[in-house]
Structure 1
Amino acid sequence: MDSIYAQVCRFIYLEADLMDEHRFDEWLALWSDELLYWVPCNEDDIDPNRHVSLIYDNRTALEDRLARLQSPSAHSQIPRSRLRRVISNLVVNEQQDGSLLASSNFLLAESRHHRKNIFAGKNLHTLSRENGAFKIKQKKVLLIDNDDYINNLSFIV
């Protein structure tokens, strides 16, 4: 039997692969119905109800975002960004409610129109088990330069 750590590690790697390959339907299937996908702006611990966030999506907003990215009229992704991310320093802790908090660092490289962009930060995944499988309840992406100018994020970070 695999350890919880090994199971979470494989799950986080799977999620990264699905994002890099623009496999949005499969990526969305990793999420629970009640979800929060949050990328803060300016500070890591802002109140998202009082300050601007780069992304602050519930399920409906995330489904809309993915539909726009997959639309033939999504000019911001023609051609699609070529993406690769490296995940490291994974730490998994069980929470009092039985969920798991998985913290990991990432480095994301984007290539598009002969330009390269590098994004780095920390992912905080809150995972639950539903029907024996992990589901993402919440994902908070802490970009190290979230207080600097960030060009349009026209892909899933």
Structure 2
Amino acid sequence: MRTPGSARSRGSAQWTAYLGSLRPRRSCCQSWAAVPVTRFTAERSLDRKGIRTMTATVDDLLLHFEIQQALFDEARLLDEMRFQEWLAWVSEDVRYWMPLRVVRKATETGIEYGRQGDDVGYFDDDHASLSMRVKKYGHTMSWSDNPAARVVRAVTNVQVERLDDGTVAVRSVLVVHRARFAQQNDTWNVARHDVLEPGTSGWRLRRREVLAPESVLRSSNLDVLF
């Protein structure tokens, strides 16, 4: 299996050819660079006037495809309990943060979640603490992991934004279902705000913020990686 974010020269070439087949016709004097690929309608006025559209180049679509595949590959590594491979994909400078959510008034939704460094969170990990968690998963005396849970992750709603320093900001939604023993089942639906950085073999996770909509999590534990 490929590493999350690894190069896909053959797949990228096929994807480029496919996208090229969807482009509008051009005149003999018009370059392809001047023909944008429409992504979606960003805003529509009530009187159907002044419609503005957002456009993306083939490079933008290829970047979105690469990031999306990297997240899919990551989910598979975790589902298959290949935690050492996952840890190798994570940057040494990673920050992994899951804040608590506090119920606020409708006018205070911007301060529902705690701030890293100032408030308490469910997780506040760096690479060293993530390494300790990975070691725990394989330890025979870790009773929350023995017998191991069966976990399935689904990644969706992926949005990608290029940042000035060469990294990318990625927003996604993750659904995690965990089954253990005969009747112990947990499901989490969370939003993730990630920053991925380019590495020698592809994209790597530098920062992750996990946002759960619940103010009280009813699962017996949070012994899971989001």
State whether residues 81 and 155 of structure 1, in contact with CA within 8 Å, keep that contact through their aligned partners in structure 2. no
Q: Which structure would you say has the larger Rg?
A: 2
Alignment match, 2:75: 16
Note the 1:7-156 alignment, pairs <5 A.
7-43=66-102, 45-113=113-181, 114-145=183-214, 147-150=215-218, 151-156=220-225
- The Cα of 1:133 is off from its aligned counterpart by 1.1
Letter in 2 for 1:79: P
**Whole-Å separation in 2 of the counterparts to 1:86 and 1:153:** 18
State whether residues 196 and 206 of structure 2, in contact with CA within 8 Å, keep that contact through their aligned partners in structure 1. yes
State the TM-score, normalized to the length of structure 2.
0.65
**Whole-Å separation in 1 of the counterparts to 2:154 and 2:184:** 19
State whether residues 193 and 210 of structure 2, in contact with CA within 8 Å, keep that contact through their aligned partners in structure 1. yes
User: Could you report, residue by residue, the CA deviation over 1:128-156 in whole angstroms, capped at 9, with x for unpaired residues?
Assistant: 101251111011111122x2134311122
**Whole-Å separation in 2 of the counterparts to 1:45 and 1:4:** 30
Q: Which has the higher strand share?
A: 1
User: Could you report, residue by residue, the CA deviation over 1:40-68 in whole angstroms, capped at 9, with x for unpaired residues?
Assistant: 11256422222211111011111111111
User: Could you report, residue by residue, the CA deviation over 1:114-138 in whole angstroms, capped at 9, with x for unpaired residues?
Assistant: 2211100111120010125111101
Alignment match, 2:39: none
User: Could you report, residue by residue, the CA deviation over 1:83-124 in whole angstroms, capped at 9, with x for unpaired residues?
Assistant: 111111110011122210111111111111222111001111
State whether residues 40 and 55 of structure 1, in contact with CA within 8 Å, keep that contact through their aligned partners in structure 2. yes
State the TM-score, normalized to the length of structure 1.
0.92
Secondary structure (helix, strand or coil) at the match of 1:75 reads coil
State whether residues 101 and 113 of structure 2, in contact with CA within 8 Å, keep that contact through their aligned partners in structure 1. no
**Whole-Å separation in 1 of the counterparts to 2:162 and 2:113:** 21
Identity %: 22
How many residues matched?
156
Gaps of 5+ in 2: 1-11, 16-61, 103-111
User: Superposition RMSD on alpha carbons, in Å?
Assistant: 1.5
